[in-house]
């Protein structure tokens, strides 16, 4: 399918369990792009964080920050060679999690590092924000069955979900496509993926809201 030539760097973002990695991989395949996908399980502190957040929150967040910066630096190099890149996270997402997870003094120190690194990160040409209800996210997380996520509480997930909604309500750094992903599975409904790609190809320069095809037909 023909891709929008205006976008060389697309980010798919959203809260835990919303399906951003699956969608990013599918879009990369269909748009003949390079997929840059985050592997959260590579963070050695994450299992301990879910067991004892207070003890391991800063180490966990700092590891994510540095790893995400490393990946975003690689994306800059890809863009120099005119590669089409699709990623499953926005660099600023790291600060969103830090604002929820860290105490005030920890966040102050974290933010000093983040502000320095942010200046060297490319801004996406398009961000696709996947929204879903917290109960849907929790159900999807349980189904994927990652061991380290067994201790994830509904309250924490809901706090993260609301933080994402608040962040993207004010987001204006690049064109933003907001997708209602509560009742859809792009992996198993190819017609919805086709329809989403058509929506991407007609994107303007501001915010658009998109309800997947199968949801509109209900």
Q: Is the pLDDT of residue 65 over 70?
A: yes
Four-CA torsion 65, 30, 83, 114, nearest 10 degrees: -10
pLDDT confidence bin for 215, thresholds 50/70/90? low
Residue 86 DSSP SS3: strand
Give the single-character DSSP code of 149.
G
Give the single-character DSSP code of 148.
G
pLDDT (tens digit, 9 = 90+) per residue, 94-106?
999 999 999 999 9
- Please, what is the average pLDDT of the chain? 88
Q: Is the pLDDT of residue 5 over 70?
A: no
> Nearest to residue 152, comparing CAs of 100, 108, 91?
100
pLDDT (tens digit, 9 = 90+) per residue, 179-200?
998 887 777 788 888 888 888 8
Q: Is the pLDDT of residue 78 over 90?
A: no
Q: What residue ranges define each of the domains in the chain, with the CATH number in brackets?
A: 9-216 (3.40.50.300)
**pLDDT at res. 118:** 94
pLDDT confidence bin for 169, thresholds 50/70/90? very high
- Whether residue 81 contacts residue 34, with contact meaning beta carbons closer than 8 Å, is answered with no
**pLDDT at res. 160:** 96
pLDDT (tens digit, 9 = 90+) per residue, 33-43?
989 998 888 89
**pLDDT at res. 3:** 45
**pLDDT at res. 1:** 40
- Whether residue 102 contacts residue 58, with contact meaning beta carbons closer than 8 Å, is answered with yes
């Amino acid at each position: 399918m023909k891709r929008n030539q205006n976008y060389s760097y697309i980010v798919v973002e959203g809260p835990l369990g919303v399906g951003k990695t699956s969608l990013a991989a599918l879009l990369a395949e269909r748009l003949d792009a390079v997929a840059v996908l985050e592997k959260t399980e590579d963070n050695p502190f994450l299992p301990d964080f879910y067991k004892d957040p207070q003890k391991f929150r800063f180490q966990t967040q700092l590891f994510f920050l540095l790893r995400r910066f490393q990946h975003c630096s690689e994306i800059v190099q890809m863009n120099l060679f005119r590669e089409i890149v699709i990623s499953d996270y926005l660099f600023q997402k790291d600060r969103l999690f830090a604002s929820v997870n860290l105490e005030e003094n920890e966040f102050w120190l974290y933010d000093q590092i983040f502000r320095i690194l942010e200046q060297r990160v490319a801004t996406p040409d398009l961000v696709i924000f996947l929204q879903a209800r917290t109960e849907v996210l929790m159900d999807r997380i349980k189904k994927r069955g990652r061991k380290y996520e067994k201790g994830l509480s509904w309250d924490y997930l809901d706090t993260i979900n609301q933080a994402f909604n608040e962040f993207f309500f004010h987001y204006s750094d690049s064109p933003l496509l907001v997708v209602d992903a509560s009742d859809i599975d792009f992996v198993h409904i190819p017609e919805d993926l086709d329809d989403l790609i058509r929506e991407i190809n007609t994107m303007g320069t501001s915010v658009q809201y998109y309800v997947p095809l199968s949801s509109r037909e209900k």
